[in-house]
């Protein structure tokens, strides 16, 4: 009788597991209270975006150490050490006793509830509120911020679409939205002076000539979507319109389209919806 046992490649206690079996086993055993607590765990136990945060903090520490030159200043050294201790890699707490699948399912349910709540409480601006918002933006904000708010009110673009706009996408007559549902949205005549004023300011910013983005910051970088929504929310609170977001401007644009007699199919195309039913459900909320 041979001393050696045959190796089973599929199944069995001594056999190799397929990637699908390993994944199911990993999900079933993922009950650690903190990410990366197991000494034999791989880097996948820490979420990707949290790994990037930790890596950025370690890089910042190394830059501080590399920039240290000359004699040691005791007070500065104590301040630097205190600052570095505050930015050490964090311990990311998980839900106690929950598997990864349960955790993801709970987060998706919370996101769905939040979206339904925002849609249910979202109401468009009336004509006086919209007129006051646009007039105040011209008098109180910079050329870039005023042009951004006016563009959102007159086109109904999403914050991600506004951030992704490039110079080639905006003309005097229309704005082209690229992506999965490419569309062309006409621009009103009263918006052109604001855009021209902003483009003159944009040309003077450092690094803006090499950046194809339409909306850039004072440092010549593309304006992120979070900054777009933050601008609308903060400015609305400042002029006495709390609760107004970028989605409020988009819904106001959609309602004004239907009030002007635009067909539902055409409104769905201008808004970038997949079907007129999606537009009708969006306006019914």
- What would the mean pLDDT of 197-212 be, rounded to a whole number? 85
Contact assessment for residue 165 and residue 214, using Cβ atoms and an 8 Å cutoff: yes
pLDDT at 2: 46
Q: What's the Rg (C-alpha) of the chain?
A: 27
Band of residue 51 on the pLDDT scale cut at 50, 70, 90? confident
- Dihedral sign for Cα 41, 42, 43, 44, please: negative
Lowest mean pLDDT, pick from 107-111, 117-121, 136-140, 173-177: 117-121
Band of residue 120 on the pLDDT scale cut at 50, 70, 90? low
List the alpha helices (DSSP H) in 43-126: 48-66, 74-86, 100-121
* pTM attached to this predicted model: 0.60
pLDDT at 56: 83
Residues in the chain: 285
For 144, residues 6+ apart whose C-beta sits below 8 A from its C-beta are 198, 201, 202, 215, 216, 223
Q: How far apart are CA 200 and CA 48, in angstroms?
A: 40
pLDDT in tens, 224-277: 888 998 999 999 999 998 888 898 999 999 999 999 999 999 999 999 888 888
Instruction: List C-alpha distances in Å: 177 to 14, 162, 188, 276.
Output: 56, 9, 16, 19
**pLDDT higher at 66 or 108:** 108
- What would the mean pLDDT of 13-36 be, rounded to a whole number? 66
Lowest mean pLDDT, pick from 75-84, 139-148, 218-227, 263-272: 75-84
Q: How far apart are CA 122 and CA 106, in angstroms?
A: 24
Contact assessment for residue 124 and residue 248, using Cβ atoms and an 8 Å cutoff: yes
- Which domains can be identified in the chain, with CATH numbers? 123-284 (1.10.443.10)
Mean pLDDT of the chain: 79
């Amino acid at each position: 009788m041979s001393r050696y046992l045959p190796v089973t490649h599929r199944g069995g206690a001594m056999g190799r597991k397929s990637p699908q079996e390993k994944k199911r086993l990993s999900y079933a055993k993922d009950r650690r209270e903190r990410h990366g607590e197991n000494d034999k765990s791989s880097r996948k136990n820490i979420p990707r975006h949290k790994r990037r945060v930790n890596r950025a903090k370690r890089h910042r520490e190394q830059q501080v150490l590399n920039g240290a030159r000359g004699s040691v200043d005791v007070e500065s050294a104590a301040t630097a050490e205190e600052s570095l201790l505050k930015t050490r890699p964090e311990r990311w707490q998980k839900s106690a006793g929950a598997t990864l699948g349960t955790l993801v399912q709970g987060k998706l349910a919370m996101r769905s509830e939040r979206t339904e709540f925002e849609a249910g409480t979202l109401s468009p601006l009336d004509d006086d509120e919209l007129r006051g918002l646009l007039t105040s933006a011209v008098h109180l904000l910079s050329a870039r911020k005023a042009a951004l708010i006016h563009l959102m009110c007159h086109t109904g673009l999403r914050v991600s679409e506004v951030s992704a706009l490039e110079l080639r996408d905006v003309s005097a007559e229309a704005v082209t939205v690229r992506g999965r549902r490419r569309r062309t949205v006409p621009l009103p005549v009263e918006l052109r002076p604001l855009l021209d004023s902003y483009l003159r300011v944009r040309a003077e910013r450092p690094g803006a000539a090499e950046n194809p983005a339409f909306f850039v910051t004072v440092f010549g970088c593309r304006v992120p979507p979070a900054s777009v929504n933050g601008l609308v929310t903060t400015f609305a609170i400042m002029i006495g319109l709390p609760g107004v977001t970028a989605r409020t401007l988009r819904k106001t644009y959609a309602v004004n389209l239907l009030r002007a007699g635009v067909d539902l199919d055409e409104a769905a195309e201008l808004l970038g919806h997949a079907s007129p039913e999606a537009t009708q459900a969006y306006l019914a909320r």
